[in-house]
Chains A and B, each alone.
Chain A
């Protein structure tokens, strides 16, 4: 039986209800939400609304209308950064960002002359918040930070980051790609200004789904313009969210699946998912400690990290290690830079990268133990 340990890229398997909801929509509805007055279009409207409502409960958004649908966290982050930042703005970010944040910032550096500065942090991802405070000068207009690193596994203390930024009136964009669904988030309680998430990782939904939470009062310039289903005479997008940001027919089949996924997750409870992953991560780290020549990265305390662990075996090419795990042991993990070269620079593992095993809600102790046994064998035999 193959073992899937690449949940940091996309979660697998999905709850049966997810596929069922997508097939149900495709088979028995198929209509565009917001675009017709027949009963099935109204049903599609309601389906999309119920998904927003479920997500708003799960993520602590005060109102469903504050959840904007996108096709993934990358689109959400692009929407936030390109819709908010103006020429000359200064942005603080971390040294472990995914390219979903780093590349749009680089483009804005080139095209709008924004300035990007890194909040100093230790190799295990611990941010220096006092240094961050001193970097928050008058020109800083945004702090953009991953809630959890997809390489190091560290968890950003969002409450403290937001508190520090808000002392100077600077809003915060949080990239929750690795945490939404896997780690409790209360956007309103944490006073997060913008929160980007994807549907296909911890939320257990289909690929092609994601969203952006916007705190009340945050208004962005639009990333795309087009039909929104109403007010068609106006040459401009509507003022009110979420329609303002959702031009074009949305991925309703995906949203139907996401609704089922969030419903499943709420039945289980994000706290229960987190406890499960913390327990398995502890077993994994203990096992990795016993593999000769293996170094893993990030915090040792399982409460301080996500259920993903990057590692290298001394003298071994991480790519070959992952290939051996797949071909010889049927274990799927991801090697390389994980679209986050800065995190690997922080760890000293660039440009080759590392092997990453990422757990999910459906991973179990047997999966972890088989991985550890396989790594011991790989480590003990020659290259």
Chain B
């Protein structure tokens, strides 16, 4: 097995979201071998090829990886942290085992600008996405922490062209 274990070094309150936690952990293997594949897999990824570090978001949890160091942010409690570590370990090992059939990605994606996104949203502040305003939703889309499907009005025929532009931008 490529990645045997991940040790938790410390757990602290998350600065961005004080009701959540951040953990610093250390993997038993250098994860540089899999970060280009994680970059290809997660469209939320911010990848730096110089040190092969990566940051990506999955289910609103943020992962930052630099070699053996893995930081996980925005989880609810230590039980969830260990569930996430199990998930991440399985993911890394699956990628490592099947990397022959996968295509790595060595470039960093450019984020879609917030105002570009905002201008394509309905701008009704209907809150159906669960956020306070279309601007907040646009900012979350920019950080790839939300999905355009969370905006029901975008599925209406009159917004079909805007939706298509957003889909192309995020493709």
**CA–CA, A249 and B86, complex, Å:** 25
How far in angstroms is the closest Cβ of chain A from B7? 7
How far in angstroms is the closest Cβ of chain A from B16? 15
Contact of A238 among B7, B12, B76 (CB under 8 A): B76
Assess A37 versus B10: contact at CB under 8 Å? Given A45-B78, A230-B77: yes
How far in angstroms is the closest Cβ of chain A from B34? 23
B10 touches A64 (CB 8 A): no
Question: Which chain A residues numbered 43 to 91 have a C-beta less than 8 Å away from chain B?
Answer: 45-46, 48-49, 52-53, 63-65
Question: Which chain B residues numbered 79 to 98 have a C-beta less than 8 Å away from chain A?
Answer: 79-80, 82-83, 86
| B11 interface residue (CB < 8 Å to A) | yes
User: How many A-B pairs with Cβ below 8 Å?
Assistant: 51
A65 touches B83 (CB 8 A): yes
Contact of A64 among B13, B21, B79 (CB under 8 A): B79
Contact of B79 among A37, A52, A234 (CB under 8 A): A52
| A153 interface residue (CB < 8 Å to B) | no
Assess A238 versus B77: contact at CB under 8 Å? Given A46-B82, A64-B82, A64-B83: yes
Question: Which chain A residues numbered 84 to 117 have a C-beta less than 8 Å away from chain B?
Answer: none
| A269 interface residue (CB < 8 Å to B) | no
B11 touches A65 (CB 8 A): no
| A15 interface residue (CB < 8 Å to B) | no
A63 touches B83 (CB 8 A): yes
| B68 interface residue (CB < 8 Å to A) | no
How far in angstroms is the closest Cβ of chain B from A273? 27
Query: Scoring B residues 58 to 77 as 1 if CB is less than 8 Å from chain A, else 0, what string do you get?
Result: 00000000000000000011
B contact residues, total (Cβ < 8 Å): 17
**CA–CA, A240 and B8, complex, Å:** 21
**CA–CA, A239 and B19, complex, Å:** 10
How far in angstroms is the closest Cβ of chain A from B112? 31
A242 touches B82 (CB 8 A): no
Q: Is the interface of A mostly helix, strand, loop or mixed?
A: loop
Assess A230 versus B82: contact at CB under 8 Å? Given A45-B8, A46-B8, A240-B76: no
A contact residues, total (Cβ < 8 Å): 23
Contact of B13 among A230, A239, A242, A243 (CB under 8 A): A230
Q: Chain B residues with Cβ under 8 A from A242's Cβ?
A: 77, 79
**CA–CA, A240 and B21, complex, Å:** 13
How far in angstroms is the closest Cβ of chain A from B4? 14
Q: Chain A residues with Cβ under 8 A from B80's Cβ?
A: 65, 240
Q: Chain B residues with Cβ under 8 A from A239's Cβ?
A: 76
**CA–CA, A229 and B11, complex, Å:** 11
Q: Chain A residues with Cβ under 8 A from B78's Cβ?
A: 33-34, 45, 49, 229-230
| A231 interface residue (CB < 8 Å to B) | yes
**CA–CA, A42 and B7, complex, Å:** 8
B79 touches A243 (CB 8 A): yes
**CA–CA, A176 and B46, complex, Å:** 48
Query: Scoring A residues 346 to 382 as 1 if CB is less than 8 Å from chain B, else 0, what string do you get?
Result: 0000000000000000000000000000000000000
Q: Chain B residues with Cβ under 8 A from A49's Cβ?
A: 78-79, 82
Nearest A-chain residue to B75, judged by Cβ: A240
Q: Chain B residues with Cβ under 8 A from A45's Cβ?
A: 8, 78, 82
B8 touches A243 (CB 8 A): no
Query: Scoring A residues 218 to 245 as 1 if CB is less than 8 Å from chain B, else 0, what string do you get?
Result: 0000000000111100100011101100
Contact of A42 among B8, B76, B79 (CB under 8 A): B8
B13 touches A65 (CB 8 A): no
Query: Scoring B residues 2 to 27 as 1 if CB is less than 8 Å from chain A, else 0, what string do you get?
Result: 00000111111100000101000000
**CA–CA, A238 and B13, complex, Å:** 14
Nearest A-chain residue to B77, judged by Cβ: A243
Query: Scoring A residues 22 to 46 as 1 if CB is less than 8 Å from chain B, else 0, what string do you get?
Result: 0000000000011001000010011
A37 touches B11 (CB 8 A): yes
**CA–CA, A240 and B80, complex, Å:** 9
Q: Chain A residues with Cβ under 8 A from B7's Cβ?
A: 42
Nearest B-chain residue to A35, judged by Cβ: B78
How far in angstroms is the closest Cβ of chain B from A38? 9
Q: Chain A residues with Cβ under 8 A from B83's Cβ?
A: 63-65
Nearest A-chain residue to B82, judged by Cβ: A49
| Chain A contacts to B: CB under 8 angstroms | 33-34, 37, 42, 45-46, 48-49, 52-53, 63-65, 228-231, 234, 238-240, 242-243
Could you write out 30 A-B pairs with CB less than 8 Å apart? A33-B78, A37-B10, A37-B11, A37-B12, A42-B9, A42-B10, A45-B82, A46-B8, A48-B79, A49-B78, A49-B79, A49-B82, A52-B79, A64-B83, A65-B77, A65-B79, A65-B80, A65-B83, A228-B77, A229-B78, A230-B11, A230-B21, A230-B78, A231-B13, A231-B19, A234-B19, A240-B77, A242-B77, A243-B77, A243-B79
| Supplied contacts A42-B10, A229-B78, A238-B77, 15 more A-B pairs, CB within 8 Å | A34-B78, A37-B11, A42-B7, A48-B79, A49-B78, A53-B82, A63-B83, A64-B83, A65-B77, A231-B13, A239-B76, A240-B77, A242-B77, A242-B79, A243-B76
| Chain B contacts to A: CB under 8 angstroms | 7-13, 19, 21, 76-80, 82-83, 86
